[in-house]
Structure 1
Amino acid sequence: MSGPRVVSLVPSLTEAVAAGAPGLLVGATDWCVLPAGLDVVRIGGTKNPEVAAIAALRPDLVVANEEENRAQDLDALRAAGLTVLVTEVRTLEQAFTELERVLVAGCGVASPRWLDEAREAWAALPAPAYGRRGAVVPVWRRPWMVLGRDTFAGDLLARLGVVNLYGNHPERYPRVPLDELRAAGADLVVLPDEPYRFTADDGPEAFPGLPAALVDGRYLTWYGPSLVRAPAALRAALR
């Protein structure tokens, strides 16, 4: 497939480009694990990409994200003469808009069918079966960190009837002592398996007496083809 040579610095965007514009990707980070078997040059991590290695690939476009990637690394790529498209994804609607920008405006391909299917899946989301429930949503432990204000994951949870009790915190990912989390008055604790890998044996025991929903982090935090299945998968986990 002819088109621009693309390097992705974000796992979600790597999967999206690979699914929507196969053949355009020439480089991706070490953390870009989907789609399985992706055969491209690896250029380091999301926080420490190898600028020289990226420049050597002669990409027409580097796709990045303002949260996943550091400003100084993006500035270094621009200084090397590369075009960098930086996304901002803090709501579901913003995800749809940014995916269109990356794929259609950036990669020059038609809007993929899976993106329409994702819109349809979220538009058809039924009303929450259990009403609205307050939750704490840890994303790390040692120290404990939770979802705060203005996050993509928080927006998805709100659409599923889960109110993030720290959604009005001044910070986006605040550190909160465990005793404060336990005393927050939550109806449940939502435990994704990334970035910290919470499991049935690692996480729920910290919140005795509180129902724990273990969720696939890809469905809660990735914006790409996973958005098609995310509504049903998250509803099942939260049930």
Structure 2
Amino acid sequence: MIYTDQIGREIEILDTPKRIISLVPSQTELLVDLGLEDSIVGVTKFCIHPKSLKEKTAIVGGTKKVKYEKIRTLNPDIILCNKEENTKEIVENLEKEYKVHVTDISILKDALEMISQYGNIFNVEKTATDLVNTIISQKEGFDNFIKDIPKKRVAYFIWRDPWMVTGSGTFIDHMLSVNGFDNAFGNKERYPEIPIDGLKSFKNIDLILLSSEPYPFAEKHVEEIKHMIPNIPVILVDGEYFSWYGSRLVNAFSYFKTLQLSIT
């Protein structure tokens, strides 16, 4: 069967892949929740969920740099990549030897399409459909909860030194909008660097969010920013619920509800 991945590449898959390498942490977690853990032969060092997976599965590098010789020894039937997480060079090198599927996730609809297509590719359609339906139901419940909550204008930090925030065209930006947040840097693309002092000139920021990933912001960083910008509240948020677009979404809306209640 011919599948078209999310960047428009056609992939012919004749038999259900039995040896899978995933180069995307959130997609690795999704595979496990689809019941495919025993088929995963390789992951990245950043594939941290479930914790037990790395103890029995080969590590083939990171998301930006992979060990090609290690991948060859694993003889995968398919390699799963993502447009943002992995480089174009990695995809081009791997597709010379293997079936490579690339996702491109900017909004929730993209994530649900990915889950459904994985269901078809790996012959777990019912599990994938149930997962999609659960996420949709959770999202609908959250939409009803949040509809009367006033919007807050936020800055969502993903990195320190240099200080970087989330801009437009990202899954995080989409999830901020799902939460009813107005992204203060939505007029900039992707992940712009900003001078931390520049925040002082923004008069209408209601809240600063420090993500737990990719930079591991902690309480000491909350105090650091509060010292520099004392007039804007600062809180830590679980970045996996804002940026992981696989089965992590099942629990995301419960987390968002708790978050909203804590800041309302």
Instruction: Using structure 2 for the length normalisation, give the TM-score.
Output: 0.84
Equivalence map 1:21-40=2 (5 Å): 21-22=35-36, 23-38=38-53, 39-40=56-57
Look at both structures and tell me which one has the larger radius of gyration over its CA atoms: 2
Asked if the contact 1:12/1:223 (under 8 Å) is kept, the reply is yes
Cα deviation, residue 3, structure 1: 4.7
How many pairs were matched up?
Answer: 235
DSSP-derived class of the 1:195 partner: coil
The AA in structure 2 aligned to 1:5 is: R
Per-residue deviation, residues 173-203 of structure 1 (Å, max 9, x unmatched)? 0011112123222110111100111122213
Equivalence map 1:104-123=2 (5 Å): 104-112=119-127, 113-123=130-140
Cα deviation, residue 105, structure 1: 3.1
Give the Cα–Cα distance (whole angstroms) in 1 for the partners of residues 194 and 243 of structure 2: 21
Unaligned runs of 5+ in 2: 1-15
User: Which residue does 1:12 correspond to in 2?
Assistant: 26
Give the Cα–Cα distance (whole angstroms) in 2 for the partners of residues 90 and 211 of structure 1: 28
Give the Cα–Cα distance (whole angstroms) in 2 for the partners of residues 47 and 215 of structure 1: 25
Instruction: Check if 1:65 corresponds to 2:82.
Output: yes
Asked if the contact 2:222/2:236 (under 8 Å) is kept, the reply is no
Instruction: Check if 1:201 corresponds to 2:220.
Output: yes
User: Which residue does 2:69 correspond to in 1?
Assistant: 52
DSSP-derived class of the 2:221 partner: coil
Q: Which moved more, 1:178-187 or 1:199-208?
A: 199-208
Unaligned runs of 5+ in 1: none
Instruction: Check if 1:218 corresponds to 2:218.
Output: no
Asked if the contact 1:213/1:237 (under 8 Å) is kept, the reply is no
Equivalence map 1:176-187=2 (5 Å): 176-184=194-202, 185-187=204-206
User: Which residue does 1:92 correspond to in 2?
Assistant: 108
Give the Cα–Cα distance (whole angstroms) in 1 for the partners of residues 218 and 17 of structure 2: 42
The AA in structure 1 aligned to 2:222 is: G
Give the Cα–Cα distance (whole angstroms) in 2 for the partners of residues 228 and 204 of structure 1: 32
Asked if the contact 1:135/1:189 (under 8 Å) is kept, the reply is yes
User: Which residue does 1:175 correspond to in 2?
Assistant: 193
Equivalence map 1:86-165=2 (5 Å): 86-101=102-117, 103-112=118-127, 113-125=130-142, 126-128=145-147, 130-165=149-184
User: Which residue does 1:41 correspond to in 2?
Assistant: 58
Give the Cα–Cα distance (whole angstroms) in 1 for the partners of residues 223 and 102 of structure 2: 36
Q: After the TM superposition, which segments of 4 or more aligned residues of structure 1 sit over 3 Å from their partners? A: none
Cα deviation, residue 41, structure 1: 1.0
Cα deviation, residue 204, structure 1: 4.7
Instruction: Using structure 1 for the length normalisation, give the TM-score.
Output: 0.92
RMSD: 1.6
Per-residue deviation, residues 36-79 of structure 1 (Å, max 9, x unmatched)? 20121110111101122112211111001000001101111112
Cα deviation, residue 164, structure 1: 0.6
Per-residue deviation, residues 65-103 of structure 1 (Å, max 9, x unmatched)? 000001101111112x101100001111111112222x2
Asked if the contact 2:152/2:182 (under 8 Å) is kept, the reply is yes
DSSP-derived class of the 1:225 partner: coil
User: Which residue does 2:211 correspond to in 1?
Assistant: 192
Asked if the contact 1:215/1:234 (under 8 Å) is kept, the reply is no
Give the Cα–Cα distance (whole angstroms) in 1 for the partners of residues 224 and 258 of structure 2: 21
